[in-house]
Structure 1
Amino acid sequence: MSGQPLDSSMDSMEETRFRKRYQKLAIRLAEKFHFSFNEVEKLLLIYYKMQKSSKDPSQGVDKSQFRDILHCALDMTDDFLMDRIFYTLDKGPSSFMSMESWTSSLSLFLRGTFEEKIDFCFSVYDTLGERILGRESVFHLMKQSVISLGGEEDAEEIAKDMMEVLTKKMDLDRDGKISYNDFKQSVLKQPMLLEALGQCLPSRKDINTFTTTFGYKIIKM
Structure 2
Amino acid sequence: MAEKKNPQISIAASAIAMRGVRMFLSAGKAAAERRASPKKTRPTKPVVSGNKLHSSVTEILLRKTKFDKNELEALFTMYKRLVTSAQNTAPTSVIGQPAAKIDGIDQNTFRDVMHNTFDLVTEDVVLDRVWLTWERGANGGEGALKFEAWARGLSVLLRGSDDEKMLHCFAVYDLNGDGFITRDEMFTLLKNSLLKQPGDEDPDEGVRDLVELVLRKMDIDKDGKLSYEDYKQAVEQEPLLLEAFGQCLPSRRHAVAFLKTLTNK
User: Into which bin does the TM-score normalised by the smaller protein fall?
Assistant: 0.7 to 0.9
Q: Is the 8 A contact 1:80 1:144 kept in 2?
A: no
Q: Is the 8 A contact 2:102 2:144 kept in 1?
A: no
Q: Is the 8 A contact 2:125 2:189 kept in 1?
A: no
> In the alignment, is residue 87 of structure 1 matched against residue 120 of structure 2?
no
Q: Is the 8 A contact 2:62 2:68 kept in 1?
A: yes
Q: State how 1:19-38 maps to structure 2 within 5 Å.
A: 19=52, 22-38=54-70
Quote the Cα distance in structure 1 between the aligned partners of 2:143 and 2:127.
Answer: 13
Quote the Cα distance in structure 1 between the aligned partners of 2:205 and 2:102.
Answer: 47
The number of residue pairs the alignment matches comes to: 197
Identity of matched residues, %: 37
Q: Which residue number corresponds to residue 110 of structure 1?
A: 158
Q: Which residue number corresponds to residue 189 of structure 2?
A: 141
Quote the Cα distance in structure 2 between the aligned partners of 1:93 and 1:176.
Answer: 29
> In the alignment, is residue 76 of structure 1 matched against residue 120 of structure 2?
yes
Aligned partner of 2:51 among 12, 15, 18: 18
* AA aligned opposite 1:69: V
Aligned partner of 1:42 among 74, 79, 90: 74
- Tell me which structure has the larger Cα radius of gyration: 2
Q: Is the 8 A contact 2:75 2:151 kept in 1?
A: yes
Quote the Cα distance in structure 1 between the aligned partners of 2:50 and 2:179.
Answer: 44
| Distance verdict in 2 for CA 1:210–1:74, change over 3 Å | same
Q: 1:41 Cα deviation (Å)?
A: 1.1
Quote the Cα distance in structure 2 between the aligned partners of 1:122 and 1:94.
Answer: 20
> In the alignment, is residue 178 of structure 1 matched against residue 222 of structure 2?
no
Quote the Cα distance in structure 2 between the aligned partners of 1:187 and 1:209.
Answer: 26
Deviates more, 1:65-74 or 1:83-92: 83-92
* AA aligned opposite 2:182: G
Aligned partner of 1:132 among 154, 157, 180: 180
Quote the Cα distance in structure 2 between the aligned partners of 1:167 and 1:46.
Answer: 41
Quote the Cα distance in structure 1 between the aligned partners of 2:162 and 2:188.
Answer: 25
Q: 1:45 Cα deviation (Å)?
A: 1.1
Counterpart secondary structure, 1:109 = helix
The structure carrying a bigger helix percent of its residues is: 1
Counterpart secondary structure, 1:97 = coil
Quote the Cα distance in structure 2 between the aligned partners of 1:152 and 1:211.
Answer: 40
Counterpart secondary structure, 1:53 = helix
Q: Is the 8 A contact 2:134 2:141 kept in 1?
A: no
| Distance verdict in 2 for CA 1:145–1:95, change over 3 Å | farther
- Superposed CA RMSD: 1.9
Any unmatched runs of 5+ in structure 2? 1-48, 91-99
Q: Which residue number corresponds to residue 26 of structure 2?
A: none
> 1:19-61: per-residue Cα shift (whole Å, max 9, x none)?
2x53321222112111111111111111011111224545111
Q: Is the 8 A contact 1:134 1:176 kept in 2?
A: yes
